[in-house]
Structure 1
Amino acid sequence: MTGQWMEWDFEVPETGYYNIGFFTKQNFVRGIYVSRKITIDGKVLFNELSDYGFRYQSNWRFDSLMDENKEAYKIYLEAGSHTLRMQNVLGEFSSIIGEVQESLSKLNAIYRKIIRITGVKPDIYSDYQIEAKLPELEAELIDVHNQLDSSIKHLREVAGGSSDKEAVLVTMRDQLEDLIKDQEYFKKVVTSYKINVRAVGTWLSGAVSQPLQLDDIYIYSPNVDANISRSSFWSKLWYEICRLFYSFIIDYNRIGNVSEKGKETHTITLWVGTGRDQANVIKSLIDETFTKRTGINVNVMLVDMGTLLQATLAGQGPDVAIQLNISNPTYNSAIQSSNDMPMNYGLRNAVADLSQFSDLKEVRERFFDSAMVPFTYQNHTFALPETQTFPMMFYRKDILKELGLTLPQTWDDVKVIMSVLAKNQMEFGMLPNELNFLMLLNQFGGQYYNEDATKSALDSDEGINAFKEYCSLYTEYKLDKVTSVEDRFRTGECPIIIADYSVYNNFQVSAPDIKGLWGFAPVPGMRKEDGTINRNVASVGSACVIMEASKYKEDSWEFIKWWTSAEIQTLYGKEMESLMGASARVATANKEAFERLPWPSADYTALKKQFERVVGTRQVPGGYFTWRNIDNAFYKVTTNTDSASARECLMDNIIYINDEINYKRKEFHMPLAND
């Protein structure tokens, strides 16, 4: 990404002039080049190195730093140590990207004006009189058309001709030409217009990325022939033969070096449930800090966590499993697919009870109480939290300013804003999922289960009122139940949305078209009798567990204490961001590590306020039936709006919830609610 850099130290044996060469491959950006700012000892030696281009080529090649005439630059270096740095810059493309970004803002503004008249699904047979209602529209279309045309010409000049990078811009420009001729044509192409605008936004995200593969750097004397080639047919053939051979003997699930178990040194096996990049960073941190401090070796394996229970039953399981189980809170199964696994495994004696360790109470202080609730059952603790995310309210500053609206503080305020948005063919965005239902349930003062967790508590007045309110948002106020709120937030169709706070990372990286035009704040709440606002929300996250079958429980406990510590969670978060960008920011559950992450001040303040209002969701045997039946009742109400009663549908499904809880409690020889 732009602004990121890497640097290397090197030694020069004697003072003199040197050439610098790179063994590189740039097969990512076709038709144009990627740019690097190259400095020696912190200085750009001459202007050409402030924006040096590496052009597209599908194969590895050796490139010396040279001028337009293919003459290698001779760089004077004193004998001794030096530092070479390469920094990602946009170079000549910065002005193009600036033009396109400005055009994109104008295109989005035009789209919002159009849908206020036609809606997002206009009737092609209606006469919307767009030209009469928007007399300034033609001039705006001409302006953005000319700006895009200028960007395309500039891009061709920089690239030295046409390239596939201009296709998206050309498509958008051509559609604008048709709309300039007839603005009423918008009613037929408003959907394709939105798609093209989104494609321009995606183009911007890709243009900012300037990838380059670099294998070797050569510092050599001008009289030395450094034309290095390693990509001959025979070398490639030998490489592929070696790959084929090693594929039969290498365990690709193992990450890094593998330690043998011995009597003098203990070796534990760690399963990681995310991606290879994450596993490599974890292995590096283990080797650099954990093993050096404790003498405990760790073999890291990248494994599908869906096989954890089967592997444990077969005697092939790990000692420790981490990042169990990261799910996407956008989907309806957000809580049940993630937070109930440690409790279910614990009741089956598959994971160890952490209460056996004397310093558990001290370790729990690292987290908010809400993070520990899902992993605690009765007096047992089956896991430690790693990540914790929860809903936040995202809003478009520019659109709220246009409409003269302020941020809603309560759900009554939201309903007032919904009417204003509806008049402008916009809407409030909130998809139906468990986190959003629990938000309302907690704010109404309800909970999933009774005090001893033997039956559902949704039949209370608080539970029924929360469910009615939840359903009414989709029946009376017609909130969209399917379409992505993130996409509609970008286009401006939903200027206010409720979404998991990890969406922040996506907007930061993949939505340059609305950079600086949005913010987020704590969710709306319910005003209490004393005048304060209850903004309680639920959370979801990943966990780490120790398997009951492990022979090294003490060593495993030392590991998860190390892994969930503020120091390591901070290091892991920074490493992931440096490796994969801001989109990989870790939503750590460690309070101290959360404070150390590089959040902007205003965003950190908003997050911290909401973090303090997070309420943990208890997990019980048979609890997987709870959300399933709430969801069934919800869709029965929202699809049969004329006949279905929210109260009756919920009460009918509570019967199934309680039956499943009783069934599971019998299985585990626990007392029933009626005992």
Structure 2
Amino acid sequence: MKRRRDSRVIISSVLMVWLGLGLLQPIHHVEAEGDASAESLITEDVREGRYSRYIEGTESEHYSGAPIIIDDVSALNSEQQDTYEGEPVIFIDQDQTGTLTVDVPETAYYIIGFEYKIKGENVLPTQLSMTVNGETPFYEMQNLIFEHGWKNPEEIPLDKYGNEIIPQPMKYEDWQMKYVIDSSYRTSLPLMVKLERGNNDLALTISEGNLLIKSVEISSQIEVPSYERGTVTGDAFIEVEAANELDLRNNSAIRANSSYNVNLIPYSSDKRVLNHIDPDSFKTPGDTIHYKVEVEEAGFYHLGLNYQQDAKADFPVFMNIQINGEFPHELLKDYPFFYQNNYQHVSLVDDADELLTVYLEEGVNDVSFQISIAPIKSALEEIEKLTREIQALSLELTNLVGPDVDRFRDIDVNDYIPGVFELMTDWADRMNNLYEEMKSYNPSSGEVGAFSGLRVAEEQLRSLIANPRELAQRKGELATGTNSVTAYLGNLMQEMNNNGMGIDRFYFYQEDVEIPQSASWFEKTWGSIKRFVNTFGEQDYDVSNTDDENLQVWVNRPRQYVEIMQRLIDETFTSETGVKVDLSMMPDQNKLILANAAGEAPDVALGVNYALPFEIGIRGALEDLSQLEGYEDVASDFAPGMLVPATIQGGVYALPDTMNFWVMFYREDILSEMGLPIPNTISDVRSYLPELQRLGMNFFYPTAGMPGMKIFAGTMPLIYQSGGQLYGETIHKTELNSNQAIEGVRLLTEMFTIYNVPYDVPSFYQQFRDGSIPIGISDYYMYNLILNAAPEIKNVWDIALIPGIENESGDIERWSTGGAESNIMFKDTGKIDDAWAFMKWWANADTQVAFGNTLQTTYGPEYMWNTANLSAYQELPWKHDHKQVILDQAEWIAEVPRVPGSYLLERELSNAYNAIVLDGENLRTAIDLASKRVNRETERKLEEFGFMVDGVIVEPYPNPELSIRD
């Protein structure tokens, strides 16, 4: 029987945020008998706050007069007036709002520029929002960024093997001018703002960093001259090496790199030389690099580049090219650089495919290249719009049939949402049209690999349309999971932000010169042969290429980390102590036990898995660090619970290196629109679940992201939060079957058996992005991923302490794990004093801050150093508010002890969880069985290591576990 509904809006304003950052186009219910078209199901786009809508049709109101330059900021009537280096400035610090009053001659649309500098040592760009006369003119004004400038040192540093290494960038200390522009750089020109005649209040609110303002410029929009071909004569040739002559960039992570490629200059077959701008670093819209180009004679020139662009198959990467801060003409705005999977020399051409001309002044010219996505702005907005509409339909289907649908239930969705398949057909057609539009950038090919996700999404929609009675059962293919239509669209949006451009060199040249050519087949072959022969020699940072007189340190990290570590060691530790250190990249940390048995172990090993020190230490191969001078001072910088896994018989055999913190992630936009405060306890989470699930959403608990075995990080927290322990005073018997531990397991398993939290989530990252799981508990790796690989939800998510359990005193216990990597010293080192001095130096807060800052400024924001040193953590270049949450959660770290038999405790706890949640087994039965198996294995291991003989304890093994009950 058909179900009738009154016509009503089913996506309320409360849910608009969930379905697209508060900017959804709601779907409306219609009566089953109604004859609704796709247009009647989708209301007018409510994303009116976008700049494109704001500026549309305002051309006649654009200001065209002379620039208004305010050099004396005291005239701005701001309460944030200050002085800096003897000059009047406006200074706005973090979490402050500074209001500037500007006077303009007429009511019109203007661009606004600030001459600015960022104060202090923070390496993150300053983030702020801006209002005009108390209102936010458009969406983009909610998130503006002002970047640092970065320069390289004059000399390229060498490692001890004679290889050039990436230099640490230095802050540019001069004032910079920047106009207000979209932080996502979807426009190549500044944003225009309507100001009223007379005084206008510009309020800047800093959310990250600070800003010094020296002057303000208010002017007309930048005009880009039309292209007029110039006459090129002469024989001048000006070549610039992109890697070695880089002058200034706005992102510290933009860096030179080395490649054994004969097409690049300089080139060496046996040494690493920096010879190109790394495309993995020069890729984000807005990334800008500057060069100083010396020109002997003014005139017109052609422009060529030797570049590689393999980020977008069958599609160009666009760059803005400016000379002395201006576009020479319109063709250098958003110029397309087509796909090339190897470096090739290409000269820029005009629309007639003739060599493009550029005028250069005599003397020094500033030449800049900036990554742009402005030409595909409308495509990106269309993809966002499609995503919002599809998410809206997905929600309505969930409301209609529930989260799970019986596959034998026959539901004709069209009876309940008339016109739904016409709507879906319209979506598929729009995707097809968009794909065809993108093909115009590559007319020679019938495909556009960069937009293949769009084609896959379209085909999936058409598959659903072709099987209308399967739509209810297959609704997850619309907007839930890693293979849904919206997942493909979301991944496409992410890929559009990857515009990697590798540049070896560029050159300006005139008619009567021969430009460089790519290497010949013979040159490439000969270069490959020489490189192959060199691989048989000694390799850098290899255990075979060391000096036995030096301290031997093996490092379980990639080369980028090792190079920075070696440089820090040479510049500080060795210069201060005289102790020379050889770093070697560890081929396999599990071979440390074998290396020790063979007498080939290093003095120190860094970055090993936090569980490994027990396996080596219990066999007597490690030094007890707690007996060494200064240990207490070193240990005081770590969360006490981080030392537990390396504690053996009261001794401590490792120092924590990094910390894998756990926090709660939540979509701020969704929870606020639903009227749900941040949950503080597990009880709060349970109370939220019915409302979340009614709307097709849910909560993520870490065990859902652990296929197979559920490790301690997922199973332990609720046990500890319930007052349970895994062992008693000794480890001889587990306390897994104590009342408190059983209560913790009950709370854990009931999340899935009673409260319907999903027990298997292949990608919390994906479902957090699409909003189907807007809240959950996860770790550092998720934090890094969301922060750096989810641009579509930037500024609408946050983190909080994990929800815990209120104890009898009214305090909320939030215990979690935190172990990641550790550092160890081998017992047979003949250099114990030097080794301990090195370990103390490396663990020191100053060293950790220096390493973390260098790593992140050199390689980018995704290279976040999650140090275990809490004192150092406060100084690292992470978001201020997030650091405080992480530090607060670190106080609740209580790692599980690693003791004889604990590996089976982890496995049996996982088995019990699976038996209860998946097989419906009785909780006490499962836990009792697990406890018996654990106790049996513990006795066997105690016998193996000599703590028990013939079933009799000869030496008690004390439990190193933190006492949760104290």
The bucket for the TM-score relative to the shorter chain is: 0.7 to 0.9
- Could you say which residue in structure 2 is the equivalent of 1:427? 698
Q: Which residue of 2 aligns with 1:303?
A: 587
Mapped contact 1:25–1:57 kept (Cα < 8 A): yes
Q: Distance in 1 between matches of 2:463 and 2:944?
A: 68
1:650-673 Cα deviation digits (max 9, x unpaired): 233223323333333344444739
Contact kept, 8 Å, 2:315 with 2:449, in 1: the verdict is no
Give the alignment partner of residue 552 of structure 2, picking from 266, 269, 282: 269
Give, in angstroms, the shift of residue 29 of structure 1. 1.5
Which of 525, 531, 534 aligns to 1:237? It is 525
Give 1:273-672 correspondences, 5 Å limit: 273-295=556-578, 296-325=580-609, 339-401=610-672, 403-432=674-703, 433=710, 434-484=712-762, 485-577=764-856, 581-641=860-920, 644-670=921-947, 672=953
Q: Name the CA shift for 1:125/1:602 in 2 (closer, same or farther; >3 Å).
A: same
Counterpart of 1:214 (choices 495, 500, 503) is 503
What's the CA shift for 1:172?
2.5
Moved more, 345-354 or 116-125: 116-125
Query: Which of residues 9, 12, 27 in structure 1 aligns to 2:294?
Result: 12
Map of 2:537 onto structure 1: 249
The 8 Å contact of residues 558 and 585 in structure 2, kept in 1 or not, is answered as no
Q: Identify which of 441, 446, 453 aligns with 1:168.
A: 453
Corresponding letter in the other structure for 2:931: I
Q: Deviations over 1:48-95 (max 9, x none)?
A: 445343211233212345544443544535546x76554433232334
CA distance in structure 2 between the partners assigned to 1:673 and 1:39 by the alignment = 79
- 1:186 and 1:567 map into 2 onto residues whose CA distance is 59
Query: How far does the alpha carbon of each residue in 1:400-438 deviate from its partner, in whole angstroms, 9 at most, with x for none?
Result: 456544432222222222233343444322243321321
Is 1:97 the counterpart of 2:386 in the alignment?
Answer: no
> Is the contact made by 1:372 and 1:384 (CA closer than 8 Å) also made in structure 2?
yes
Query: Could you report, residue by residue, the CA deviation over 1:361-415 in whole angstroms, capped at 9, with x for unpaired residues?
Result: 2222322222223223344221111111232222234444565444322222222
Distance 1:72 1:291 in 2: 54
Gap regions ≥5 residues in structure 2: 1-282, 704-709, 957-966
Query: Does the Cα contact within 8 Å between 1:30 and 1:163 map onto a contact in 2?
Result: yes
| Contact 2:553–2:582 under 8 Å retained in 1 | yes
- 2:289 pairs with 1:2: no
Report the 3-state secondary structure (helix = DSSP H, G, I; strand = E; otherwise coil) of the residue aligned with 1:254. Answer: coil
Would the alpha carbon gap of residues 665 and 32 (structure 1) be closer, same or farther in structure 2, given more than 3 Å must change? same
Superposed, 1:62-77 pairs within 5 Å as 62-64=345-347, 67-68=350-351, 69-76=353-360
| Aligned mates of 1:279, 1:437 — CA distance in 2 | 34
Q: Tell me by how many angstroms 1:520 deviates.
A: 2.5
- The residue type paired with residue 294 of structure 2 is V
Report the secondary structure of 1:370's partner residue: coil
**Structure 1: segments with no counterpart, 5+ residues:** 326-338
Find the residue that maps to 2:342 and give its secondary structure: strand
Cα deviation, residue 182, structure 1 = 8.1
Separation in structure 2 between the aligned mates of residue 405 and residue 129 of structure 1, nearest angstrom: 34
Choose the corresponding residue for 2:547, options 246, 260, 263: 260
Local SS of the residue matching 2:678: coil
C-alpha deviation, 1:137, in angstroms? 5.2
Amino acid at match of 1:436: G
Q: CA deviation at 1:21?
A: 3.9
C-alpha separation in 1, matches of 2:572 and 2:380: 42
> How far is 1:305 from its partner?
0.8
Deviation at 1:542, TM superposition (A): 0.8
Give yes or no for contact 1:345–1:351 (8 Å, CA) kept in 2: yes
Bigger proportion of residues as strand: 2
1-structure distance, mates of 2:731, 2:663: 29
The aligned runs of 1:133-152 (5 Å cut-off) are 133-134=416-417, 141=424, 144=427, 148-149=431-432, 151-152=434-435
- C-alpha spacing 1:505/1:294, structure 2 compared with 1 (3 Å): same
Distance 2:572 2:385 in 1: 47
SS at structure 2 position matched to 1:107: helix
How far residue 198 of structure 1 moved from its aligned partner, in angstroms, is 1.3
Task: Report the secondary structure of 2:743's partner residue.
Answer: helix
Q: Assess if the C-alpha contact under 8 Å between 1:112 and 1:492 holds in 2.
A: no
Q: Is the 8 Å Cα contact of residues 205 and 509 (structure 1) preserved in structure 2? A: no
* CA pair 404-139 structure 1, distance change in 2 beyond 3 A: farther
Which amino acid letter does the alignment assign opposite residue 166 of structure 1?
Answer: F
Residue 488 of structure 1 deviates from its aligned partner by 3.4
- How far 1:288 sits from its partner (Å)? 4.9
Structure 1 letter corresponding to 2:471: F
Matched position secondary structure for 2:346: strand
CA RMSD across the alignment: 3.4
Q: How far has the Cα of 1:166 moved from its partner? A: 3.0
Secondary structure of the structure 2 residue equivalent to 1:269? strand
Would you say the 8 A contact 1:455–1:673 is kept in 2? no
- Give the C-alpha shift of residue 454 in structure 1: 4.2
Shift of residue 159, structure 1, vs aligned partner: 4.3
Q: Structure 1 residues 93 and 315, CA, compared in 2 at 3 Å: closer, same or farther?
A: farther
C-alpha deviation, 1:209, in angstroms: 0.4
Alpha-carbon distance change, 666 to 189 in structure 1, aligned in 2, over 3 angstroms: closer
The CA deviation at 1:439 is 1.1
**Bigger Cα displacement from structure 2, 374-383 vs 132-141:** 132-141
Give how far 1:233 is off.
Answer: 0.9
Deviations 1:244-272, CA, capped at 9 Å, x for gaps: 322333437639x95534xxxx5233322
Task: Give 3-state SS (helix, strand or coil) of 2:305's partner.
Answer: strand
Q: Report the Cα distance in structure 2 between the residues aligned to 1:597 and 1:64, rounded to whole angstroms.
A: 43
Q: CA contact under 8 A between 1:427 and 1:494: conserved in structure 2?
A: yes
1:444 deviation in Å?
A: 0.8
Q: 1:73 to 1:548 in 2, by over 3 A?
A: farther
Whether the 8 Å contact between 1:6 and 1:86 is mirrored in structure 2 is yes
**Distance of 2:571 and 2:906 partners within structure 1:** 43
Instruction: State whether residues 7 and 83 of structure 1, in contact with CA within 8 Å, keep that contact through their aligned partners in structure 2.
Output: no
> 1:603, CA displacement in angstroms?
3.0
- State the secondary structure of the residue aligned to 1:395: strand
CA distance in 1, matches of 2:700, 2:506: 54
Distance 1:247 1:199 in 2: 42
**Counterparts of 1:79 and 1:504 in 2: how far apart (Å)?**
48
CA distance in 2, matches of 1:353, 1:41: 62
Alpha-carbon distance between aligned partners in 2 of 1:381 and 1:174, rounded to the nearest angstrom: 58
**Alpha-carbon distance, 1:114 to partner:** 2.2
Given the two structures, how large is their TM-score scaled by the length of structure 1? 0.86
Per-residue deviation, 1:118: 3.6
Instruction: State the shift of 1:163 in Å.
Output: 1.7
| Correspondence for 2:262 | none
CA contact (8 A) 1:276 1:302 kept: no
Which protein shows a greater Rg?
2
- Higher RCO (CA < 8 A, seq sep 6+): 1
User: After the TM superposition, which of the residue ranges 499-508 and 292-301 deviates more from structure 2?
Assistant: 292-301
How far apart are the structure 1 equivalents of 2:387 and 2:344?
37
Matched with 1:57 is 340
- SS state of the match for residue 53, structure 1? strand
CA pair 406-226 structure 1, distance change in 2 beyond 3 A: farther
Q: Larger helix proportion, structure 1 or 2?
A: 1
- Equivalent residue in structure 2 for 1:205, among 494, 499, 503: 494
Distance 1:649 1:674 in 2: 31
Q: Residues 407, 122 of structure 1: CA spacing in aligned structure 2 closer, same or farther, 3 A cutoff?
A: same
Question: Structure 2 counterpart of 1:214, which letter?
Answer: I
